Amino acid sequence: MREVKIALLGFGNVGKGVWKILNMNSEELIKRSGYHIKIGKILIRDINKARDLDVPKELFTTNFEDIIEDDSIDIIVELMGGIEPAVDYMLQGMKRKKHIVTANKMAIATKGNTLIKTSREEGVMFYFEGSVAGGIPIIHGLNDNLVANKIEEVIGIINGTTNYILTKMTQEKISFEQALAEAQKKGYAEADPTSDVEAFDAVYKLCILASLAFDTIVSVNSIYREGINNVKPIDIEYAREFGYVIKLLGIIKETNGELELRVHPTMVPAEHPLANVNDSFNAIFLKGNAVGDLMFYGRGAGELPTGSAVVGDIVSILRNKEKSSYYPCLKNEGYKKIKDIEEVKCEYYIRITVKDKPGVLGEISSIFGKNNVSILSVIQKGKREELVSLVFITHSTLEGNINKSIGMIKALNDSEKIENIIRIENLGMD
């Protein structure tokens, strides 16, 4: 039996998942890859830290040199996260002709081009299935199985923590703060939840998906981002009344060669499959010009789901090793124009608190009219008190027109308060 040695950089959740999968499915992996996959070294920070798995102590090292200098190691599996030193270690590995697998979204989203270019120059394989949506095979899906398509749009729930929080807020009618505390108790949200709730995590993933699906170089800074911290139970309740569910969506659309790239809370029709993706699950819905509508659904994080993607990548390398049939993914060699958010067209939900007196609704409606914003429906709720809620749903309009209107409404004398603006995607299935 041929044997291949791999090294793990990092031994957190995903590293442990890889260890477990290599042990629990070892026979299948030998049959499917033709190799016995052995872990030769594991790079960790603290050699004395107690670990719950029965890993021989001699595999651990705190010195990357022990890995890079070891010619018996064929594949480096980077699971440290963050940009540096992870990127430097991957580049060093490539230069020493080691194939690389990573699950590091931040590294791929920000340094993917350098990594791809170096892997090509060095003639090594580079896979990163685990970097987007954990166990969902979206990267191989886009690069291999769907390669015959022009992709028209990709819409995804690509952050499990925020999906868990929004699900709890919807189902249990609790506040964002209460739902976040539950997510932290369950281990979904971190002590500092910024990266998830303010949608930085989703932006990295969307950046990778956009460059794969649309063959282009995408900078994370060109992606419009809004987190879920301002979604209130009352917005969820209004959404329900209008037939929608609120989800944090990553959206990529191509129209006339220009890309829309945005991550924000979105109202989606309650009957659409994405509206029914709950708890910490992820889902990616896409339209291809040959395949039509397609949806991937599964676990977007966790030691075994992400470990499944990583071990799958290791097997892809082993299968391609002798065939030289590997062509690195990310064909991103050009730039597509990214639309400014002001040029995006959407329907909008706008909730405003106003003084309940004659003429207020008329004034606001006339501002919308002047800015070419057509109102689809409006409701006013309140208890004959001084302040009431006005909720508008607009027809599809340019975001720039909405922003101009909001500026004018804020300038009205009666100190109307714009409580929330949420974009609506009237998604259908073809």
Which residues belong to the active site?
Answer: 205
**What is the footprint of ligand HSE within residues 303-332 (CB under 6 A)?**
none
Q: Which is nearer to ligand HSE, 4 or 197 (CB)?
A: 197
According to the binding rule CB under 6 A, does residue 102 interact with ligand HSE?
A: no
Distance (Å, rounded) from C-alpha 374 to C-alpha 393?
9
What is the closest distance, in whole angstroms, from the C-beta atom of residue 215 to ligand HSE in the complex? 24
Contacts of 80 (CB under 8 A, 6+ apart): 9, 10, 43, 86, 89, 104
Q: Considering only the stretches 115-123, 154-162, 215-223, 359-367, report the one whose residues sit in contact with ligand HSE under the rule CB under 6 A.
A: 154-162
Please report the DSSP string for 308-346 in residue order: HHHHHHHHHHHHHTTT-----S----S-PEEPPGGG-EE
Q: Which is nearer to ligand HSE, 135 or 160 (CB)?
A: 160
Q: Which is nearer to ligand HSE, 170 or 394 (CB)?
A: 170
* 98 marked among binding-site residues: no
The footprint of ligand HSE on this chain (CB under 6 A) covers a number of residues equal to: 7
Task: Tell me if residue 218 falls in helix, strand or coil.
Answer: coil
* 11 marked among binding-site residues: yes
Question: What token pair was written down for 3?
Answer: 């044997």
Question: What token pair was written down for 185?
Answer: 């108790």
* In the block, residue with structure tokens 């896979």: 127
Per-position x/- string for 188-207, each x denoting binding to ligand HSE as judged by CB under 6 A, each - no binding: --------x----x------
Using CB atoms within 10 Å of the CB of residue 428, give its burial: 0 to 12 exposed, 13 to 18 middle, 19+ buried.
exposed
* 419 marked among binding-site residues: no
* 10 marked among binding-site residues: yes
Q: Considering only the stretches 38-46, 159-167, 206-214, 248-256, report the one whose residues sit in contact with ligand HSE under the rule CB under 6 A.
A: 159-167
Please answer whether residues 161 and 196 qualify as being in contact, where contact means their C-beta atoms are separated by less than 8 angstroms: yes
According to the binding rule CB under 6 A, does residue 301 interact with ligand HSE?
A: yes
Q: Which is nearer to ligand HSE, 301 or 344 (CB)?
A: 301
What is the closest distance, in whole angstroms, from the C-beta atom of residue 84 to ligand HSE in the complex? 19
**Other C-beta atoms within 10 Å of 350: how many?**
23
According to the binding rule CB under 6 A, does residue 300 interact with ligand HSE?
A: yes
- What is the H or E stretch that residue 138 is in? helix 138-140
Please answer whether residues 155 and 251 qualify as being in contact, where contact means their C-beta atoms are separated by less than 8 angstroms: yes
* 12 marked among binding-site residues: yes
According to the binding rule CB under 6 A, does residue 74 interact with ligand HSE?
A: no
Please report the DSSP string for 251-280 in residue order: EEEEETTEEEEEEEEEEEETTSGGGG--TT
* 383 marked among binding-site residues: no
Q: Which is nearer to ligand HSE, 201 or 416 (CB)?
A: 201
Binding residue positions: 9-16, 105, 190
Residues binding ligand HSE (CB under 6 A): 159-161, 196, 201, 300-301
